[in-house]
């Protein structure tokens, strides 16, 4: 029989009779968790987050049915470090080599430590990743793409994986299913190189006339051409294994749906990593031109539709009551990230970061404050939460939900915030470190940004990085757009937060 008690009811009941969390998890009948991770989606990119020029009905419906967070963060303003923190529950800046990885990088997630999927496995769940990985594969840069590549997602806690290695703009442009490149043929082996050209495939630099989408001047993306698009890195071979960008999204969707159908009777964790709206934006015909905001807007519509397809499937299978969907993005938005695709020319007044300053690559709020929607079993409905929460907290929070014990030195930056995640508690974390080229720390709506000698403005991507040679202090409660640096007005606050940041770095 299906349980009808909500998580909130159970939690308050547990306070009275002190039911241990294991029993709680059993009573909850182990909800399935689907974590949907967008790539480069900004705080202002969804209509439920205030976008006026674009309609995202499926994500809006998800928000209405659950709790929508307005102060939730990725750890970093780029992909690899944010994903590293999500997997490990530790700040990425504690480990060397967690910056944006090339497509031939080796695995950077430790195989002998706790990870988010391992938490689920410890509670008897089946786990899967479908979509973008970008945390490296194998133990060496040089690897044989035609044989099984280990270690990878299957060695850090996923029972099933269907991924692409890095980003959609980096070679190799192939899928791997459980360690093996899909559709690679012995007679046409894949070679990948990030230093020098391999094979005879034309490059964007030599043959711009072959491109169906031009690379932005000065931003690379002019190496091997695949599917009419210049990429970062060189590749040859694997002709039949190469993906078609217009089908990337539906390929991932179908794999995710297959996994859900096959595991509908057992508890599962699905990490579903969409590629939208990261470059190259090459949406399916169905969405092209639909948003009137160029391919970036069209890619957001495609993303929203994909989420709708998952919602519909859960409903058809009668699983929506026993499933929690968590939706977020790995970093803030960027318009021109390497291709001339209409994102700038057809912006039409849209504000991808909403009221926030900066975006991808930035230490300002636009870099890490992203959409975060939680909906499903036990989650408060129609709620908006301003609680401070990080994606990195999911590890300890899911452990709390499932009664999985973590040792004190495991996932030490991850906070168990179950009541925050379900929309009951509206405070969340007391502090959070943010990460771009420099670090910042937030406490009680005060934000301190550590001095940095890096460029304050990246012209090519039109990014205000937030780098500044002196201390910056912002009062986020009254100045969410980080317009007024009040460091000289509040020297004690600066001293306090600076000290806190130093302490965090020592941990």
Residues that bind Ca ion (CB under 5 A): 39-40, 79, 330-331
CB nearer ligand NG6, residue 331 or residue 385: 331
Determine the Cα–Cα distance for residues 263 and 124; give it in Å rounded to an integer: 13
Q: How many helices (H) and strands (E) does the chain have?
A: 11, 22
468 binds ligand NG6 (CB under 6 A): no
CB nearer ligand NG6, residue 92 or residue 376: 92
Q: Which residue is nearest to ligand NG6 (CB)?
A: 79
Residue 397 interacts, among Ca ion, ligand NG6, none and using kind-specific CB cut-offs from 5 to 8 Å, with: none
Residue pair 287/301 in contact (Cβ under 8 Å)? The answer is: yes
Task: Name the 3-class secondary structure at 339.
Answer: strand
CB nearer ligand NG6, residue 39 or residue 341: 39
CB nearer ligand NG6, residue 282 or residue 401: 282
CB nearer Ca ion, residue 40 or residue 222: 40
Tell me which stretch binds ligand NG6 (CB under 6 A): 315-323, 330-338, 350-358, 481-489: 330-338
40 binds ligand NG6 (CB under 6 A): yes
Question: CA of 397: how far to CAs of 119, 120, 386, 390, 424, in Å?
Answer: 10, 11, 18, 11, 14
| Smallest gap from residue 233 Cβ to ligand NG6 (A) | 10
| Smallest gap from residue 100 Cβ to ligand NG6 (A) | 5
Residues 221-250 that bind ligand NG6 (CB under 6 A): 232
| Smallest gap from residue 330 Cβ to Ca ion (A) | 4
Percentages (nearest 5) of helix, strand, coil residues in the chain: 30, 20, 55
Determine the Cα–Cα distance for residues 275 and 314; give it in Å rounded to an integer: 22
307 binds ligand NG6 (CB under 6 A): no
What is the phi/psi pair of residue 339, to 5°? -135, 150
Determine the Cα–Cα distance for residues 345 and 225; give it in Å rounded to an integer: 24
220 binds ligand NG6 (CB under 6 A): yes
| Smallest gap from residue 74 Cβ to ligand NG6 (A) | 10
Determine the Cα–Cα distance for residues 420 and 67; give it in Å rounded to an integer: 10
Distance of CA 333 to the CA centre of its chain: 12
Residue 365 interacts, among ligand NG6, Ca ion, none and using kind-specific CB cut-offs from 5 to 8 Å, with: none
| Smallest gap from residue 39 Cβ to Ca ion (A) | 4
Give the position of tokens 């020592």.
506
Residue 220 interacts, among ligand NG6, Ca ion, none and using kind-specific CB cut-offs from 5 to 8 Å, with: ligand NG6
Determine the Cα–Cα distance for residues 94 and 109; give it in Å rounded to an integer: 13
Tell me which stretch binds ligand NG6 (CB under 6 A): 19-27, 331-339, 410-418, 449-457: 331-339
CB nearer Ca ion, residue 369 or residue 377: 369
Out of 78, 291, 323, 438, which residue is the one contacting ligand NG6 (CB under 6 A)?
Answer: 78
Residue 169 interacts, among ligand NG6, Ca ion, none and using kind-specific CB cut-offs from 5 to 8 Å, with: ligand NG6
CB nearer ligand NG6, residue 231 or residue 377: 231
What is the phi/psi pair of residue 286, to 5°? -50, -30
What is the phi/psi pair of residue 479, to 5°? -145, 70
From the list 396, 325, 337, 329, the residue with the least C-alpha distance to 361 is: 337
Determine the Cα–Cα distance for residues 153 and 158; give it in Å rounded to an integer: 6
Residues 6+ away with beta carbon under 8 Å from 347? 293, 294, 335
CB nearer ligand NG6, residue 386 or residue 457: 457
Residues 100-129 that bind ligand NG6 (CB under 6 A): 100
CB nearer ligand NG6, residue 169 or residue 320: 169
Structure-block tokens of residue 100: 């944006």
74 binds ligand NG6 (CB under 6 A): no
Determine the Cα–Cα distance for residues 108 and 105; give it in Å rounded to an integer: 8
CB nearer ligand NG6, residue 98 or residue 322: 98
Binding mask 333-372 toward ligand NG6 (x if CB under 6 A, else -) reads ----xx----------------------------------
Q: Omega into 286 within 30° of 0, i.e. cis? A: no
Burial 288-309 (b: 16+ CB within 10 A, else e): beebebbbbbbbbbbbbbbbbe
Residues 160-219 that bind ligand NG6 (CB under 6 A): 167, 169, 219
Site size with ligand NG6, rule: CB under 6 A:
16
Point out which residues bind ligand NG6 (CB under 6 A). 39-40, 78-79, 100, 134, 167, 169, 219-220, 232, 278-279, 331, 337-338
């Amino acid at each position: 029989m299906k349980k009808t008690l909500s998580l909130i009811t159970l939690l308050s009941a547990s306070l009275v009779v002190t039911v241990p969390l294991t029993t709680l998890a059993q009573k909850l009948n182990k909800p399935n968790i689907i974590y949907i991770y967008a790539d480069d989606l900004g705080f202002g990119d969804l209509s439920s987050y205030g976008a006026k020029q674009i309609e995202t009905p499926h994500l809006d419906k998800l928000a209405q049915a659950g709790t929508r967070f307005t102060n939730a963060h990725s750890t970093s303003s780029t992909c690899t470090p944010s994903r590293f923190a999500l997997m490990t529950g530790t700040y990425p800046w504690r480990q060397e080599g967690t910056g944006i990885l090339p497509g031939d990088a080796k695995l950077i997630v430790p195989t002998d430590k706790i990870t988010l999927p391992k938490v689920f496995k410890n509670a008897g769940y089946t786990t899967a990743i479908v979509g973008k990985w970008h945390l490296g594969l194998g133990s060496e840069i040089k690897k044989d793409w035609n044989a099984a590549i280990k270690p990878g997602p299957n060695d850090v806690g996923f029972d099933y994986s269907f991924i692409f290695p890095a980003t959609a703009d980096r070679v190799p442009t192939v899928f791997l299913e459980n360690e093996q490149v899909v559709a690679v043929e012995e007679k046409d082996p894949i070679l990948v190189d990030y230093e020098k050209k391999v094979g005879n495939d034309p490059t964007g630099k030599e043959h711009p006339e072959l491109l169906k989408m031009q690379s932005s001047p000065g931003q690379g993306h002019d190496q091997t051409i695949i599917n009419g698009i210049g990429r970062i890195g060189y590749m040859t071979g694997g002709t039949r294994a190469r993906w078609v960008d217009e089908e990337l999204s539906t390929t991932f969707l179908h794999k995710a749906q297959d996994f859900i159908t096959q595991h509908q009777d057992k508890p599962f964790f699905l990490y579903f990593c969409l590629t939208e709206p990261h470059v190259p934006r090459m949406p399916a015909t169905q969405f092209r031109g639909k948003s009137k905001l160029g391919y970036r807007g069209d890619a957001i519509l495609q993303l929203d539709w994909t989420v709708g397809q998952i919602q519909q499937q859960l409903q058809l299978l009668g699983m929506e009551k026993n499933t929690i969907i968590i939706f977020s993005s790995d970093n803030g938005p960027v318009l021109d990230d390497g291709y001339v695709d209409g994102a700038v020319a057809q912006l039409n007044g849209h504000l991808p970061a909403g009221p926030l300053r900066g975006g991808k690559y930035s230490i300002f709020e636009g870099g890490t404050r992203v959409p975060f929607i939680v909906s499903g079993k036990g989650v408060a409905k129609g709620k908006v939460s301003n609680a401070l929460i990080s994606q990195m907290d999911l590890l300890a929070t899911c452990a709390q939900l499932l009664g999985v014990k973590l040792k004190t030195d495991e996932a030490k930056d991850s906070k168990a915030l179950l009541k925050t995640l379900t929309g009951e508690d509206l405070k969340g974390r007391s502090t959070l470190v943010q990460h771009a080229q420099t670090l910042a720390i937030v406490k009680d709506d005060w934000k301190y940004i550590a001095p940095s000698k890096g460029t304050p403005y990246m012209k090519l991507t039109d990014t205000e990085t937030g780098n500044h040679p002196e201390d910056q202090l912002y009062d986020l409660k009254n100045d969410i757009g980080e317009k007024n640096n009040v460091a000289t007005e509040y020297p004690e606050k600066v001293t306090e937060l600076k000290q806190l940041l130093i302490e965090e770095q020592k941990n």
